[in-house]
Amino acid sequence: MKNCLTSILLLALILIAFTKTTAQDVSFKLGINLCGAEFGFQNLPGSINKDYVYPSESDIEYFAKKGFKVIALPFRWERIQHELNGELDYNELSEIKSFLVKCSRYNIHATLTMQNFATYSTSNRVLALGTSKLNFNDFKDVWKKIAAALSNYNVYGYDIMNEPRNIFGRKWFKAAQHAIDGIREVDNNAYIIIDGENSSFSYDWKYDNNKLRKLNDPADKIVFDAHCYFDYNHSGSYDGKFVRKISPTMGVEKVKPFIDWLKKYNKKGIIGEFGVPGNDKKWLEVMDNFLAYIYQNGISANYWAAGAWWNDYPLSIHPQNGYDKPQMAILEKYLR
């Protein structure tokens, strides 16, 4: 009888855990930020294949064969729209459409990330979102035009702004709501991905971004995007400071507050960026434990980063000379 009661209790706990993890309504997917189209920000709009580059089909094929389910493509606002409220650039739009077609060919979910940090650069100044020179309607305009132009393509999600910075109070909330409204005027299918203030840091999410839970999407497809790097200042630089303080569970500790917030308010969420250098087994262990934890909680994540132009960037998992990077051995455990 004791064994029977124990079994019933165990089953009940499993069912409770299952209910919590599936409340996200987004199954676990491991993705990759495939960079290059946002490079060359010192020269905007710049020249393709000189200042910046789009992923090749072989890049997409490599990650698809590894088992990645999502590819996030960072891009620059100034390249897709050379003038605020102007028409979208035909050539840039064609490159994005070509990327989407290639992803569909390999059954990859494609997301698009505006990599502008809540700014827009002109020839002589950097404009800040939420000011008279770069207002909320400018932001709505570009996202409505992008969503309309890509309405016949298989876009999994629009990440409306990567790591919005120096935009405080309710300004980011208002900007995000304008973008949501613009997208939903032409597209009710794609997810809308919302990063948080303060570099979207997962540990401080409930303090910096609690108000975002009140954003309104008539399609109910908002996904909140927190970033989680494991170094001392969560910058992803891994510059060697406090290396002796590496704990195997520090990744879990840094992401848990965000996951707790999602559960509390029954919201969908992802970890849009995480990554470690491949030359230190301690960091690889931290990432392994982190991945096990988010997997158990049904939270998807996109590794940062890959792309043919990263060269010796320590976090890159782009293959070199036909060889996988050390981080890939850990990632493949969860890709399977």
Tens of pLDDT along 115-133?
A: 999 999 998 899 999 999 9
Nearest to 174 by CA among 115, 130, 127: 130
**Sorting pLDDT into bands at 50, 70 and 90, what band is 239?**
confident
Question: Phi, psi at residue 286, to the nearest 5°?
Answer: -60, -45
The whole model's pTM is what?
0.91
Q: What is the pLDDT of residue 242?
A: 58
pLDDT of residue 5 exceeding 80:
no
Distances (CA, A) of 329 to 284, 304, 317: 9, 15, 10
Residue 191 confidence (pLDDT): 98
Report d(CA 251, CA 234) in Å as an integer: 10
Structural domains in the chain? 30-335 (3.20.20.80)
Residue 321 pLDDT greater than 80, yes or no: yes
Compute the average pLDDT of residues 295-316. 96
Contacts of 77 (CB under 8 A, 6+ apart): 114, 116, 120, 142
Cα–Cα distance, 196 to 208 (Å, whole number):
7
In the chain, % of residues over pLDDT 70: 91
Query: What confidence score (pLDDT) does residue 243 get?
Result: 60
Report in angstroms the alpha-carbon separations of 81 from 13, 89, 138: 52, 6, 11
> What pLDDT shows up at residue 13?
36
Give the model's pLDDT for residue 293.
98
pLDDT tens-digit readout, 176-200: 999 999 999 999 999 999 999 989 9
The token pair that represents 129 in the structure block: 């979102």
> 2: buried, middle or exposed (CB in 10 Å: 19+, 13-18, 0-12)?
exposed
Handedness of CA 193, 198, 200, 206 (dihedral sign): negative
Contact by Cβ (8 Å): 247, 287: no
Q: Is the peptide bond before 305 cis (omega within 30 degrees of 0)?
A: yes
